[in-house]
Structure formats: structure tokens, C-alpha cells
Amino acid sequence: MSVLRVRDLTVSFGRRHLVAVDQVSLDIEPGQRLGLVGASGSGKTVLASTIIGLLPDNAHVDGSVTFDGQELTTLPDREFSAIRGKDLTMVFQEPMTALDPTMRVGRQAAELVALHSESSQGTTRQLVVDVFDRVGLDQASRIVDAYPHELSGGQRQRVIIAMALINRPSLVICDEPTTALDATVQAKVLRLLDEELASVDAACLFISHDLGLVASLCSDVAVIHAGRIVERGRTEQVFHHPSHPYTAGLVATASIDKVRPGERLPVIEDFFDPSTVDSAPPSESTNRPHRRIRRSR
């Protein structure tokens, strides 16, 4: 059975019902990692917020989201809180704002454990130290007593990942989890996320505009454009043989290293005319001459 099933989900905002997510359906199997790629404003973050139940009050939701067989869109807040943070967790983009600045990070993690289990305080602390240790925080027993501002960006994001995994969830939603980090730190955090997801056998919905990150972490990928999933499949398949022109455009723009230095970079509009959504046949638009991608090495 799928761990997450989204069916015909439509999310709109405000009195004018501006549609952010349009008739989206997708499934995530246990342990599967699905990358969700799209430009900003494509609806990817709204989709994530809908799944985890953190939409603002002016949102209207249609369709269904089931998690472990349980319908989430109509779930009362109190019952949702029992799932959120335990079986369904989230790693946020900005590690500074996702942590409470007035609370020691160890206590924030311990609170998550205490909320969802009946373990005693002594064992909880040990558990938190262990998990912090596992996510590569040196001197974990000291870091648990630190405040967020005393940690570096990379350390904070490790804490967030530790908190997302501490209750052994079945699905982790990651919303651009490494965009705020430096390149070398990003690579390390990504590797960590990869290992830790595997070790607790959690499924993952990985949201990013960076195709390279998705390619290195996810087995499957869905491409979202203007609130709709335009393409979905195995990662290699989608990125190497995109069937939708928008995907082809995304892949081409993301491969800067395949264009000779100084030459014109391909842009999405070479492949896909946004004004004619769903109309451009892929065969026609992929044969344009200036689209040829040369390898630089």
C-alpha cells in the first residue's frame, strides 16, 4: 500500500480562488523517494503544506490526501498533531526560523519524542544524543545543550534532520532543505540525508528547483508547472529522455556545465511556450538547431 496517496488535489487561495495546485495526483510507496521539481510559484511548496496540514486559513482544498490509509484533508487538528512530527515529518528550508531561538536544541528534539511516546526523561536525553551523534554533530552531548544561534547553518540543518527522523517516520517532506547552505556543506548534508533516510527506511518527498540535487537523492521525480504535474517517472528516464517540453527545458537550463563557456545558455522558452500549456508537441520543439547540447569535456 502507498504511504502517501494524493488524488485530484486542488488548492486555491482567497476569495478569488487563485489556484496554486491543480488536479494533482501522486503516490509514494514505502521507502520511495520522490523528487518534486518546479520553478518558484509552481505550487510545490503549497502541495507540501497541504500534505502536512499547514495551509493558511484562506486556502480551499479539494480532492484527497491519504497517509497510511488515513484521509488527511478532513482530519481534525488534534488528530493531525498526533501524526505530524511522528509518522509524517518535515525538513524546512531555513534552519534558523524552523528552530525556537529561546530553547536549547536538545530540548526541542526531546519534546518531539515526549509528545509521541511514553519514554522516561533519562532515556529521552540519551536518545537525542544518539540521534545527534548519528547525524554527524560532533560532541553531540554538548550540542544538545546549545541554543540555535550558537550553531552554524550546517549544524542547525543537521539538528532539523535529526528532529525529523528521531521518531522514525514513514514519510519525510523536505522543502528545499539545502538551499540556504554553502555548496560544500550542502553536499555533506545531502549525503547525510541520503544515509539517514535509508537507515530508518523512510519515504521522502523532496522538493527542490535544483535538478542536480534531485538526481543525486531521488529514484523518482515529478515535474510540476503552474500547479500541475506535467511529467512523472524514474529519475534517469525523466532527466535523460524528458517527454514533456517543459521538462526538456528545465533539464537543458540546469545543465550549465554542458554548454561551452561563453555560449548562449538554453532557456526554457526554447522548448516550451508557457502561453500554450499542454499544447506543444515534444517532437517538434526538441529538434530546434540551437538546442544542440555540446559536452565541454
Query: Of 14 and 121, which CB lies nearer to other proteins in the complex structure?
Result: 14
Confirm if 22 and 10 have CB atoms less than 8 A apart.
Answer: yes
Window contacting other proteins (CB under 8 A); options: 62-70, 119-127, 196-204, 259-267 = 259-267
Q: Fill in the per-residue mask, 138 to 157: x = in contact with other proteins (CB under 8 A), - = not in contact.
A: ---------------x----
Looking at residue 260, the DSSP 8-state letter turns out to be: P
268 interacts with other proteins by CB under 8 A: yes
Is residue 275 at the binding interface for other proteins, with CB under 8 A as the rule? no
Q: Cβ(3)–Cβ(29) under 8 Å?
A: yes
Q: Which of 110, 215, 230, 280 binds other proteins (CB under 8 A)?
A: 215
Residue 277 binding other proteins, by CB under 8 A: no
Nearest approach in angstroms of CB 248 to other proteins is 12
CA 207, CA 126: separation in Å to the nearest integer? Answer: 32
Alpha carbon distances (Å) from 166 to 83, 132, 162, 243: 14, 9, 6, 39
- Report, in Å, the least distance between residue 109 CB and other proteins: 25
Total residues at the site for other proteins (CB under 8 A)?
37
Residue among 49, 157, 186, 247 that touches other proteins (CB under 8 A): 186
Using CB under 8 A, which of the segments 52-60, 76-84, 103-111, 246-254 binds other proteins?
A: 246-254
185 binds other proteins (CB under 8 A): yes
Question: How far is it, in rounded angstroms, from Cα 297 to Cα 283?
Answer: 28
Q: Given the complex with other proteins, which of 73 and 216 has the nearer CB atom?
A: 216
Which residue's C-alpha cell is 521539481?
37
How many angstroms separate the most distant Cα atoms in the chain? 67
The answer to the question of residue 271 lying near other proteins (CB under 8 A) is no
Segment contacting other proteins (CB under 8 A): 55-63, 67-75, 132-140, 258-266? Answer: 258-266
Question: Is 40 a residue that touches other proteins (CB under 8 A)?
Answer: yes
CB atoms within 10 A of CB 73: 17
Query: Any contact of residue 205 with other proteins (CB under 8 A)?
Result: no
User: Segment near other proteins (CB under 8 A), from 98-106, 165-173, 249-257, 283-291?
Assistant: 249-257
Whichever of 42 and 167 has its CB closer to other proteins, that residue is: 42
Eight-state DSSP code of residue 244: S
CA distance 65 to 50: 8
- For cell 491543480, name the residue: 22
Q: Using the rule CB under 8 A, which residue among 56, 101, 122, 261 binds other proteins?
A: 261
List, in order, residues 6 or more apart from 237 with CB less than 8 Å away: none
Angle value at C-alpha 187, between 183 and 190, nearest 5 degrees:
130
203's CB contacts (< 8 A; 6+ apart) are: 3, 4, 28, 29, 30, 31, 32, 33, 34, 170, 171, 172
Q: Which stretch binds other proteins (CB under 8 A): 60-68, 73-81, 130-138, 247-255?
A: 247-255
Residues that bind other proteins (CB under 8 A): 39-40, 153, 182-187, 190, 209-213, 215-216, 239-240, 249-251, 253-257, 259, 261-262, 264-268, 296-297
